[in-house]
Structure 1
Amino acid sequence: MHTTDYALPVIDLNDLHTSTDHGAFYQGLGRITRDSGFFYLKGHGLDAKIIQDIQQQSLKFFQLPLHEKNKIAMLHSAHFRGYTRVASERTAQRPDYREQIDIGAELPALTVDAQQAAYYRLQGPNQWPDLVGFKEAVEAFQQQAHPLSIALLRHFLIALQQDPHALDTLIDPERPSHLLKLIHYPAAQDASQSQGVGAHKDSGIITLLLQDQVGGLQVKTAQGWKDIPYLEDACIVIIGEALELASNGYLHGNIHRVQAPQNGQDRYSTAFFLTPNIFAGDIPILPLPAELAALAQGPDYDPDNPLYQQIGLNTLKGRLRSHLDVTEKHYPQEYLKLTQQTPRLVAETDS
């Protein structure tokens, strides 16, 4: 583990193979995870060719004309899958100056009746663009990123002095739960377009982020916002709200944002989210040892973004708030409740 000369601590999984002192590795991982919530990961094992393929396919997709991208607009999907045009997704009630495509595990839609919770509708198929090689590149990346993120989860649990399988209830091999976002941040034309994505925590378990060299990612620290630049051969690992809840606040999902590029260059990133299985009920609270439990003061509470222990409800909450047009079309009852509780959402959408 290295903490000098970089914007974030660096963890190298190769250290587990080259050193017999695994205790030191896990002590360092536990300290960094607790203190930072963000770190660079080297030795991740993601194939360079697979990364190159998905980045090239992402670029090809975003270069399509808008009418072609809109053929798979998220508005067509009750599962929140597909393309979102620039300024259509919202963070902290403000539009994000980015476009993206959301792709999850390829699963059939469920038949949902009025007695079942609305979050059952989140499971379903993806929308795929008509691009040669796109689906294959995405699935190849998912097949490597998914087991890597699960391995990281188990490393985190060992660092917390837990059984490495303590949170396996959140992971269903028959119904894998993950989300891939391919993201394009167009170069901003003026200061009003500065929010690439607003300040937020990731709602899942673990995020793996690949970014280019343009810059714009920032993490909130006690000293203010800190730039997180590109590091060659590394991905960025981000702790999500699900781990914050499971650890009763011992671990914290760090607040981060992306500033839209102002230098005339477009920015591209690839984000893979390991998310909890929405059918698993409540997120379990880990029985931390006394010295760690004494530091676990409960998860952070934001009245504008409440956290729910119930997995399906917490997952649906984030999707509903971020994509109001999809919510209005496919979840009209939830849209009415949401806009009555937070009427400024509608006012800002219409402005």
Structure 2
Amino acid sequence: MIDLRDAERGPAARADFLHRLRRAVHDIGFFQLVGHRVTGAAELLELSRKFFALPDEERRALDILDSPHFRGYSELGRERTRGIPDQRQQLDIGPERPSSAPGPGEPAYRWLVGPNQWPAGLPALRPAVVDWMDRLTGLSHRLLRLILESLEAPADFLDAVVDPDPQVHFKLLHYPGPDPSADPGPADQGAGVHKDLGLLTLLVQDRVGGLQVAVEDDRFVDVPVVPDAFVVNLGELLEVATRGYLRATVHRVVRPAPGVDRYSMPFFYSPRLEAAMRPLPTRYVSEAGGVVADPDNPLFACYGENVMKGLTRAFPELIARHHPGLLAAADR
């Protein structure tokens, strides 16, 4: 549990705060953030419930398969983790931008810039989400600087990687419990085992819970639901940039029980699409002997190329419809 207000309570409290923050991001890579002064999570969760309660045809009108920019609604099983369909519904949202296609010679990741799809039957959702994303972008940037300070690195060292336009992404997620009459299969996952890719993830989960973190290779523990807290975890870019000193911990989401619905809202904060990470200038990194590459997921220097690689795996039907050249490249 990390209380952000401790960073403002004088030099001694700040030093203790930075010590606890460093331990959290080094030992496990997950922590609960309180004292962040960001309000409105309960109201946005309620809007999320209303979205997933809209008539099926209204949600399907926002089908992500119709968006070359990877924005919109996904039905159960649309997104995949390690090739296995995730049993959740979701709405993928990014910064609102005009629709455009990469020009000649421009990288494919320029497709990630574009408009969102919003439900006509829930007009309050768009302004609430846009405001939420703006506030979490600011909170994430502050938290990233504090993590760097905890490592005795210049707090602004990664500013050039994220400013002025970090790649941010937001999901509304609904995990419905399975049909009581159906036999669950071994692949009946809410969200499969994975690490997040970018820098930071800030998650709001409802009272149901279901998020699990690997504390050992084969032992997962439940992440408790803490009122008004963000569950924060680190992405692979920070793990590699610190030679494994910072941890991007494997995690998953188990499906709720039959008849139970789980809702959550993850916000992903990452570098600019064209940016590349640099090793952090700190003794903690120079003395670390951990991971500099993930053999299961080799990382490109350019962040946007990593995103497109991940989306090629996660949304094969969308890729086949709008970006078949990426499939051919992935097969080579």
TM-score (norm 2): 0.93
Runs of 4+ in 1 over 4 A off after TM superposition: none
Residues of 2 paired with 1:245 and 1:110: CA distance? 32
Distance 1:138 1:164 in 2: 28
1:68 Cα deviation (Å)?
1.0
* Residue 268 in structure 1 maps to residue 254 in structure 2: no
Distance 1:113 1:58, change over 3 A: same
Deviation for aligned residue 1:252: 1.8
Q: Do structure 1's residue 239 and structure 2's residue 229 form an aligned pair?
A: no
Q: Percent identity?
A: 39
The match for 2:201 is 207
Contact persistence 2:212–2:254 (CA under 8 A): yes
Cα separation, partners in 2 of 1:216 and 1:147, compared to 1, 3 Å? same
Whichever residue aligns with residue 83 of structure 1, its letter is: Y
- Superposed, 1:160-309 pairs within 5 Å as 160-173=151-164, 175-189=165-179, 190-192=183-185, 194-222=188-216, 224-280=219-275, 282-289=276-283, 291-303=284-296, 305-309=297-301
Aligned to 1:60: 50
Deviation at 1:111, TM superposition (A): 4.3
| Letter matched to residue 131 of structure 2 | A
What is the CA–CA distance in structure 2 between the aligned matches of 1:129 and 1:275, rounded to whole Å? 26
CA 77–128 in structure 1, closer or farther in 2 if over 3 Å, else same:
same
Preserved CA contact (<8 Å) 2:82 2:313:
no
Judge conservation of contact 1:242–1:276 (CA < 8 Å) in 2. no
1:242 Cα shift? 1.9
CA–CA distance in structure 2, aligned partners of residues 330 and 161 of structure 1: 45
Is the contact made by 1:245 and 1:309 (CA closer than 8 Å) also made in structure 2?
no
Alpha-carbon distance between aligned partners in 1 of 2:256 and 2:43, rounded to the nearest angstrom: 24
**1:320 matched to 2:315:** no
Contact 1:203-1:241 at 8 Å conserved across structures: yes
CA distance in 1, matches of 2:289, 2:95: 33
Q: Distance in 1 between matches of 2:157 and 2:150?
A: 12
Contact 2:166 2:269 in 1 (8 A): no
Corresponding residue to 1:51 among 37, 41, 50: 41
Q: Alpha carbons of 1:191 and 1:300: their partners in 2 closer, same or farther (altered >3 Å)?
A: farther
1:334–1:206 distance in 2 versus 1, CA, 3 Å: same
Give me the whole-angstrom Cα distance separating, in 2, the residues matched to 1:254 and 1:31.
14
| Aligned match for 2:20, one of 21, 28, 37 | 28
Q: 1:138-162 CA distances to partner (integer Å, 9 max, x unpaired)?
A: 1121121110011100001101111
More divergent stretch after superposition (124-133 vs 178-187): 124-133
Which whole-Å CA distance do the structure 2 matches of 1:118 and 1:29 have between them?
Answer: 37
1:16 to 7, 19, 22: 7
TM-superposed CA distance for 1:248, in Å, is: 2.8
- Give the superposition deviation at 1:19: 4.0
Number of residue-to-residue matches in the alignment? 325
Unaligned runs of 5+ in 1: 1-9, 342-351
Task: Pick one of 90, 97, 118 that aligns with 2:108.
Answer: 118
Pairwise CA RMSD of aligned residues? 1.6
Structure 1 residue 115: Cα displacement: 1.6
Shift of residue 59 of structure 1? Answer: 0.7
1:106 aligns with 2:96: yes
**Contact 2:312–2:319, Cα closer than 8 Å, also in 1:** yes
**TM-aligned CA deviation for residue 215 of structure 1:** 2.1
